[in-house]
């Protein structure tokens, strides 16, 4: 005996729902989180990832600026925005990377200068104390 039409469609929807639900659950429980993914990297790749995290954040900010500029314009997408072809010599993201690396180098240099200044001040203070102690001990201003 042939099943009614509504029964066949109910089976189709139930089977489709089971397939989709299975896919969603598999995706949810088999895809690693970002922390798990980073933890599974080798130490060299992990250090490179941590080092370039700021650069990726800056690139994302630049991209958001470009998207906002493009969205505000009434021109077609291909006519607005400063994104150039990757084969062009003047690549904005390349310049951004150089600028970011330059900023990092300047920060490191300033930190090193601050450290050296602190050491210098400490050495000067130590020398002053030794000089004061020597002056008190010797009484050089007396004619004895």
> Is residue 66 in a domain?
no
Provide the whole-model pTM.
0.40
Q: Could you read off the pLDDT of 93-132 as tens digits, one per residue?
A: 566 777 888 888 999 999 999 999 999 999 999 999 888 8
d(C-alpha 17, C-alpha 5), whole Å: 18
> Is residue 6 in a domain?
yes
d(C-alpha 91, C-alpha 54), whole Å: 19
d(C-alpha 3, C-alpha 6), whole Å: 8
> Is residue 81 in a domain?
no
Q: How many domains does the chain have?
A: 1
- Of the chain, the end-to-end C-alpha distance in Å amounts to 133
> Is residue 136 in a domain?
no
């Amino acid at each position: 005996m042939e099943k009614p039409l509504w029964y066949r469609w109910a089976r189709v929807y139930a089977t489709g729902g089971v397939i989709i639900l299975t896919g969603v659950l598999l995706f949810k429980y088999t895809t690693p989180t970002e922390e798990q993914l980073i933890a599974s990297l080798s130490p060299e790749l992990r250090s490179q990832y941590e080092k370039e995290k700021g650069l990726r954040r800056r690139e994302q900010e630049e991209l958001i600026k470009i998207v906002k500029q493009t969205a505000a314009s009434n021109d077609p997408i291909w006519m607005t925005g400063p994104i150039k072809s990757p084969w062009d010599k003047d690549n904005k993201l390349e310049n951004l990377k150089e600028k970011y690396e330059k900023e990092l180098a300047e920060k490191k240099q300033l930190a090193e200068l601050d450290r050296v200044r602190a050491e210098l001040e400490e050495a000067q203070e130590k020398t002053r104390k030794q000089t004061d102690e020597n002056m008190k001990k010797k009484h050089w201003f007396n004619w004895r």
